[in-house]
Amino acid sequence: MTKDRKIPITFTIALPIVILGIILSFLGRYPIIGSALSQGYIELTAMNHTFTLKPPELPSNIAFREVYINLTSSNTMKICLTYGKQVKTIDLEEGVTNVIKLDKAIDVELGLISGSGGIQYTYCVKYEEYPYVWLSLPAFFLALLGLALIIRGFIELFTYRT
């Protein structure tokens, strides 16, 4: 006489818990793409005159996709850009837009070396925000609970009771 092995109830409980944990972990990694920009006009007239460009206001917990500054000069001039540990000298032509790519959104200091005039600037930041990252913690615990129930189900399935 053979005894039929029934699927333990822990399997039917564990499977939805594991699936819910997996779904929550994927939702936690869902990014929202955003962008922020600040723009303005500055007048640089005196030698060694400096101006600091501040990045636009950004939410917390973001990953930068693209950060750049567009500079368009009203006259031909030579400026010095300082950001982080980098220093660049740029020749600005009248009416030509120069694009400066940055690694992250930081303060950029502009200094006039020669010439004078105004600079139209646009500081643009494109980013990914993860507002549902907090779902990763319950997903982790649900996956652990589901795994424990699956192990218990296997033990029940293969334990022979006479």
The predicted-structure confidence for 109-143, as pLDDT tens digits, reads as follows 998 888 888 899 999 999 999 888 899 999 999 99
CA-CA-CA-CA torsion for 7, 9, 15, 21, nearest 10 degrees? -160
Token pair belonging to 13: 């409980």
Q: What does the chain come to in residues?
A: 162
Rg of the Cα trace of the chain?
A: 29
pLDDT at res. 153: 85
The predicted-structure confidence for 19-76, as pLDDT tens digits, reads as follows 999 999 999 888 899 999 999 999 888 776 788 899 999 888 888 999 999 999 988 8
Per domain, the residue ranges of the chain are 9-29+133-158, 32-129
- What dotted CATH number matches 32-129? 2.60.120.1540
Classify residue 117 as left (phi > 0), alpha (psi -120 to 50) or beta.
Answer: left
